[in-house]
Amino acid sequence: MTDHNRPSGDDQDTTHFGFTTVKTNEKEKLVRGVFDSVADRYDLMNDLMSAGIHRLWKRFTIELSAVRPGQTVLDIAGGTGDLSARFSKLVGAEGKVILADINASMLQVGRDKLLDAGAFGNLHMVQCDAQYLPFPDNSVDCITIAFGLRNVTDKALALRSMERILKPGGRLLILEFSKPTSPLLEKIYDTYSFRILPMMGRLVANDEESYRYLAESIRKHPDQETLMAMMEDAGFVDCQYHNMTGGIVAVHRGIKA
């Protein structure tokens, strides 16, 4: 058991699903249920929940990737394809972008959106589990996972899987909700997450529970330093992170040695 998110105790076959303790093998199904439920209105909700700032977080992540034409990029938990669309332009016709997600509903929404935006040719879609990435060793230049790692059952296993398929010198970028750096901001953020967010979920997506899970899963996710230590444990070097919007979100970067 290497997942830092897992509850301590005698029962080693359990993990967190938000604030609820569930059997490890059930989490995947429960997370899938959440994303099946929100897939159709995922982009709209992202814009509403973050007041559009998620676009800036993603843009900065893409800048940090320093992706060049001809490279291969894997966008794990790529959902509706925000990052993939941009990477598709950056890598050009000689490059390759793989949009991967464990959830078929999200992948389908992403595929439709990307096709509508005219992004195709160098874009491939794969439904897969981040813990067991179905790609050869040392085959990818850059991996991004934006707002996806906290939903993975065994994060350490997923990080090792990412490290395996990255080329030496390749980089991993993890964009994820994190811990606010100011106690005042943390209080405001808590009120927003547990009171306003589920209400917005109910009004816009008619799904209060899924958005309550999103808020809870953010609190159970490792903080900045813990996640950086996990990346180092998985074999990444030169690890660093940048806090954004007061630490509500952080982007971690690690290089495969």
Partner 1 sequence: MQREHDPAVITAVTAALEASVNRALTLAPAASRELAEMADTVLAIECTAPVITVYITITPMGTLQVSSYSEAKSSTRVRGAFDDFLTLATADDPAATLINSDLEIVGNTAPLLALQQIVTHMDLDWEAPLVDVLGDVAGHQLAQLLRGTFSWGKDAGKSLRRQLSEFILEEGRLSPPAAELDAFYDDVQNLALRVDRLQSRLKRFAQKVAAR
Using CB under 8 A as the binding rule, whether residue 243 contacts partner 1 is answered as yes
> CA–CA distance from 250 to each of 112, 138, 176, 227 (Å)?
29, 26, 6, 10
Using CB under 8 A as the binding rule, whether residue 244 contacts partner 1 is answered as yes
From 10-18, 34-42, 59-67, 122-130, span contacting partner 1 (CB under 8 A): 59-67
Using CB under 8 A as the binding rule, whether residue 167 contacts partner 1 is answered as no
Tokens linked to 29 = 């199904």
Residues 221-240, mask of contacts with partner 1 (x by CB under 8 A): -------------------x
Helix axes 224-233, 155-165, angle to 10 degrees: 50
Round to whole Å and give the CA distance between 50 and 211. 13
Minimum distance from residue 35 beta carbon to partner 1 (Å)? 25
Minimum distance from residue 146 beta carbon to partner 1 (Å)? 14
Residues 60-79, mask of contacts with partner 1 (x by CB under 8 A): x--xx-x-------------
DSSP 52: T
Nearest CA to 212 out of 72, 76, 38 is that of 38
Strand locations in the chain, DSSP E?
Answer: 14-17, 20-23, 72-76, 96-101, 123-127, 140-146, 166-177, 236-244, 249-256
Which CB, 66 or 115, lies closer to partner 1? 66
Using CB under 8 A as the binding rule, whether residue 53 contacts partner 1 is answered as yes
Q: Which helix (H) or strand (E) holds 185?
A: helix 183-191
Minimum distance from residue 68 beta carbon to partner 1 (Å)? 8
Match 């799904």 to its residue by tokens.
207
From 8-16, 28-36, 75-83, 241-249, span contacting partner 1 (CB under 8 A): 241-249
Minimum distance from residue 243 beta carbon to partner 1 (Å)? 7
Using CB under 8 A as the binding rule, whether residue 245 contacts partner 1 is answered as yes
Longest pairwise C-alpha distance within the chain: 53
Which CB, 60 or 194, lies closer to partner 1? 60
Residues making contact with partner 1 (CB under 8 A) = 53, 55-57, 59-60, 63-64, 66, 240-246, 249, 251
